[in-house]
Chains A and B, each alone.
Chain A
C-alpha cells in the first residue's frame, strides 16, 4: 500500500500542529517559573471569611495581610538581588470543603498563582491540600493541626500548627512537674474525655503516649469519647466521678466545653487538675461560665501574646497592634508565621520555581515567634511543624498567665485545684 502525497502533506500538517501544541508558550514558561523573575509574586489563598468559621478566618486573614504588608514595606521578597513585591489573591471559601477545593483549583490552574497559603480548620485543609499536592504547588497552612493531614505522604504540604498531641503532652509535662513536687498524687488517676474527631483523637494519643511513657506515675481510669454538639454529658461525667479521677483531661470545642463545664459545675464535681485542651482562657468562656466557672482550668495554645516581650514576638505584637488596634491571638500569629515561612523559603530559593521553593520549605529552619523559637517542617512529621505548646491557667484574679514551659512562663501555676475539698 502506498500513500499519496496529499496524505503525507496532511499527516505532516497534523504532526506540526501537535508539536506546536507541545511547545510551551510564554504563559506556561511563566507558570513553571524556572528561571524568570516575575514582576509580582502572587500567593493564592482561601479562608472562611463567611460561614461558621468566619471569625477565625478573619483572624487568619489579618495574619496573612500583615505578613504581606511587612514584606512589601521592605520592597518585597529578595530573588537573587531583585526585590519582587508580593500580592495576596485571597478568596472566601465560606467554610465549605467543596468550595475550598474548587477555589484552590481555580487559583492554581486558571489564575496561575505562584504559591498557596492554606485555609482554616482541619477538615477543609485536609480536602484542599490534596489539590495542592496534585498540582505540585507549595502549600503552607496555619489552620490544619490534625496529624492525618500530614500522614498521607504528601510532599508539597506544610503545616505551621504543631500536632494536637503536643498540646496534651505539654500539659502533661506541667502536671508531671507538679507531681514530682509532691502536689499531685502518684500514681495520679487520669480520665481522658475526647471529642470523636481527628482533633480529639490526637489529644487522646498525646495523653496516652505520655502516661505510657511514665507508667508508674499515671493510671488511666476512664477513656471516653463523645459526639460533637452534645446535649447531655451526665453519663460521661458520672463515669468520671465513679472512677475518682484526679486529672480530668478533656478535649472539646467551645459549645461542648460550655455545656460540659456547666454540667460539671452543677454536679459539684472537682478535679485536682482540669483541662479542656485549648479551651478556657477565651473571653467567650468567661462570659459563658462566669469568672468562677473557669478558675484553675488549664489550657494550652500554639501561641500567646504574652510571648511578645522581646525579639520577633515583640515586633509582631507591636506591628499587629499598630495596624489593627487589637492584640493578636494565636490564629493571627499562626497565619503570620505560615506566610513568613513561605516568603523565607522563596527568598532562600531565589526563584519562584515551585520545586526549588518546596525543597527550601522542607529544609527550612528559621527564627520564629512560636514556642521554641525555631520553625521547621520536619519530613519525618510529614511536613508538620513540631514544637511545644504554651500552657496557661485561669487564676481567680482574672489573669491567665503562661505557666509552662518555664523559660517563657509569666506566672506560677496552681495544683491541685484549691477549690476541691478533701
Chain B
C-alpha cells in the first residue's frame, strides 16, 4: 500500500512536468492547426538559456522563468513572422508546416552544437537533491517546485483564455477564423500572439527540464513525442484536457512496472496513443475547443 502511495505521488509530480511540456504544442495546434515540430528544439534551447543564465550569472532557474518567457515569446513571434505566416492555411499547409518547423528544429539543434558542443550540461542548485516528506515517502523538492509552476501555468493559461479579450479572441479564432474576420478580429495578430505564447510555454518547459535532467543538443526529441501523446490523449485543442492527458500518461508510465518490465514503460504512452486514436480519436476527454 505504501509503495502505491509513493508511486501515485511520483506520478502526479511527473504529470506536472509533462503538462508544462505539452501546453505550448497544444495551444499552437488548437489555434493554428499546426503541429509545431520545432517544439522539442525550443524546449532544448530554453534549457540551454537557463543553464547559461545559471552558469554565467548565477541566476536561479526558477528566477529565470520571466526572462525566458519574454525571450521565447519574442522568438516565437519572430518564427511566425519570418516563416510560419507564409504557409498556406488549412490542409494544404499541413505537410509544408511539418517540414518547415522540422527544419527550424534542426537549425536550433545545430546552432546549439556549434555553440556548446554535444556535451551533457547540468544545473546543480543548492536544493537539487533536497527532499520533502509527504504521505510516508520522501520526494524531490525540485519536482514539487516544477509541479507548482506547472499548476500556476495551467491556471494562468485558463484565466487568460476565459477572462481576457485576447483569450476570447484566441478561442474564437480556434473555432472559426473566417467568422472572426467578419466580426473584426485581427486573425493574423491572434495567430502571431498565439505562436509567441505557445513558444514561451515551450520555453517554460525547457526551464523546468533543466532543473531535473542533464541536457544536450539532442534533448527535446522524447519530449516532443510525449507532448504529442498528451495532446492526443487530452483531446486536441483542450488545455484542461492536456493537464488530464499528462496525468493519464504519467500514471500509465509509473504504474506500468506492475505489468511490464521497466524498460518498456516509456512505450506504454505510445500504445495508449494508438489505442486512443483508434477508439476515441477526439481524445479521452472528448474533442474540445480551447478552454
The chain A residues found within 8 Å of chain B, CB to CB, are 50-55, 95, 195-196, 224-227, 229-232, 234-236, 238-239, 242, 254-255, 258-259, 262-263, 265-268, 284, 287-290, 293
What is the CA–CA distance of A243 and B139 in the complex, to the nearest angstrom?
19
B218 touches A262 (CB 8 A): no
B118 touches A53 (CB 8 A): yes
> Is B184 among interface residues, defined by CB-CB distance under 8 A?
no
A232 touches B214 (CB 8 A): no
Would you give the shortest CB distance from A304 to chain B, in whole angstroms?
Answer: 21
> Is B254 among interface residues, defined by CB-CB distance under 8 A?
yes
B residues near A242, Cβ cutoff 8 Å: 3
A293 touches B129 (CB 8 A): yes
In chain B, what residue has the closest Cβ to A284? B120
Given contacts A50-B113, A52-B118, A254-B120, are A232 and B254 in contact (CB under 8 A)? Answer: yes
Would you give the shortest CB distance from B105 to chain A, in whole angstroms?
Answer: 16
For chain B, residues 233 to 258, give those with C-beta under 8 angstroms from any C-beta of chain A.
250, 253-255, 257
Sample 12 A-B pairs with CB under 8 A, ordered by A number: A50-B113, A231-B213, A234-B6, A235-B10, A238-B10, A255-B213, A266-B140, A266-B141, A266-B143, A267-B131, A288-B124, A293-B129
A residues near B117, Cβ cutoff 8 Å: 54-55
> Is B30 among interface residues, defined by CB-CB distance under 8 A?
no
Produce 1/0 per residue, B260-280, CB < 8 A to A.
011111110000000000000
Given contacts A235-B10, A288-B214, are A267 and B262 in contact (CB under 8 A)? Answer: no
A/B pair count, beta carbons within 8 Å: 119
Cβ-closest 9 pairs across A and B? A234-B10, A288-B122, A266-B140, A196-B263, A265-B129, A266-B131, A255-B214, A235-B257, A225-B263
> Is B119 among interface residues, defined by CB-CB distance under 8 A?
yes
What is the CA–CA distance of A225 and B261 in the complex, to the nearest angstrom?
7
B10 touches A232 (CB 8 A): yes
Given contacts A55-B119, A196-B263, A226-B262, are A238 and B3 in contact (CB under 8 A)? Answer: yes
B residues near A293, Cβ cutoff 8 Å: 128-129
Number of interface residues of B (CB under 8 A): 43
> Is B148 among interface residues, defined by CB-CB distance under 8 A?
no
Would you give the shortest CB distance from B269 to chain A, in whole angstroms?
Answer: 11
A227 touches B218 (CB 8 A): no
A residues near B222, Cβ cutoff 8 Å: 229, 231
Produce 1/0 per residue, B11-48, CB < 8 A to A.
00010010000000000000000000000000000000
Contact of A254 among B7, B124, B214 (CB under 8 A): B214
A residues near B141, Cβ cutoff 8 Å: 266
B residues near A289, Cβ cutoff 8 Å: 124, 128-129
What is the CA–CA distance of A262 and B212 in the complex, to the nearest angstrom?
8
What is the CA–CA distance of A263 and B137 in the complex, to the nearest angstrom?
12
What is the CA–CA distance of A284 and B212 in the complex, to the nearest angstrom?
15
A225 touches B262 (CB 8 A): yes
> Is B217 among interface residues, defined by CB-CB distance under 8 A?
yes
A55 touches B262 (CB 8 A): no
In chain A, what residue has the closest Cβ to B213? A259
What is the CA–CA distance of A238 and B262 in the complex, to the nearest angstrom?
12
- Main secondary structure, interface of A, reads helix
What is the CA–CA distance of A230 and B261 in the complex, to the nearest angstrom?
14
A residues near B250, Cβ cutoff 8 Å: 232
A residues near B128, Cβ cutoff 8 Å: 262, 288-290, 293
Produce 1/0 per residue, B121-140, CB < 8 A to A.
01010001111000001111
> Is B194 among interface residues, defined by CB-CB distance under 8 A?
no
B residues near A238, Cβ cutoff 8 Å: 3, 6-7, 10
B138 touches A268 (CB 8 A): yes
A267 touches B254 (CB 8 A): no
Would you give the shortest CB distance from A124 to chain B, in whole angstroms?
Answer: 14
In chain A, what residue has the closest Cβ to B218? A52
B residues near A287, Cβ cutoff 8 Å: 122, 124
B7 touches A234 (CB 8 A): yes
In chain B, what residue has the closest Cβ to A263? B140
A266 touches B265 (CB 8 A): no
B residues near A268, Cβ cutoff 8 Å: 131, 138
Would you give the shortest CB distance from A231 to chain B, in whole angstroms?
Answer: 7
In chain B, what residue has the closest Cβ to A239? B257
Q: Give 15 new A-B contacts, CB below 8 A, not counting A229-B222, A258-B120.
A: A54-B118, A196-B263, A226-B262, A238-B3, A238-B7, A239-B257, A255-B120, A255-B213, A262-B140, A267-B131, A267-B137, A268-B131, A288-B124, A289-B124, A290-B129
B138 touches A267 (CB 8 A): yes
What is the CA–CA distance of A266 and B214 in the complex, to the nearest angstrom?
17
What is the CA–CA distance of A265 and B119 in the complex, to the nearest angstrom?
24
What is the CA–CA distance of A122 and B226 in the complex, to the nearest angstrom?
27
A residues near B264, Cβ cutoff 8 Å: 227
> Is B227 among interface residues, defined by CB-CB distance under 8 A?
no
A224 touches B261 (CB 8 A): yes
> Is B97 among interface residues, defined by CB-CB distance under 8 A?
no
B122 touches A231 (CB 8 A): no
For chain B, residues 138 to 170, give those with C-beta under 8 angstroms from any C-beta of chain A.
138-143
Would you give the shortest CB distance from B205 to chain A, in whole angstroms?
Answer: 12
Would you give the shortest CB distance from A191 to chain B, in whole angstroms?
Answer: 13
What is the CA–CA distance of A266 and B211 in the complex, to the nearest angstrom?
14
B residues near A236, Cβ cutoff 8 Å: 257, 262
A227 touches B263 (CB 8 A): yes
What is the CA–CA distance of A254 and B119 in the complex, to the nearest angstrom?
10
A residues near B266, Cβ cutoff 8 Å: 227, 230
For chain B, residues 159 to 217, give those with C-beta under 8 angstroms from any C-beta of chain A.
212-214, 216-217
What is the CA–CA distance of A187 and B216 in the complex, to the nearest angstrom?
41
B263 touches A226 (CB 8 A): yes
B118 touches A267 (CB 8 A): no
B residues near A239, Cβ cutoff 8 Å: 3, 257
What is the CA–CA distance of A357 and B3 in the complex, to the nearest angstrom?
59
B residues near A266, Cβ cutoff 8 Å: 129-131, 138-143
Given contacts A225-B262, A227-B265, A263-B140, are A235 and B254 in contact (CB under 8 A)? Answer: yes
Would you give the shortest CB distance from A51 to chain B, in whole angstroms?
Answer: 6
A235 touches B261 (CB 8 A): no
Would you give the shortest CB distance from A194 to chain B, in whole angstroms?
Answer: 9
Produce 1/0 per residue, B43-78, CB < 8 A to A.
000000000000000000000000000000000000
What is the CA–CA distance of A267 and B132 in the complex, to the nearest angstrom?
9
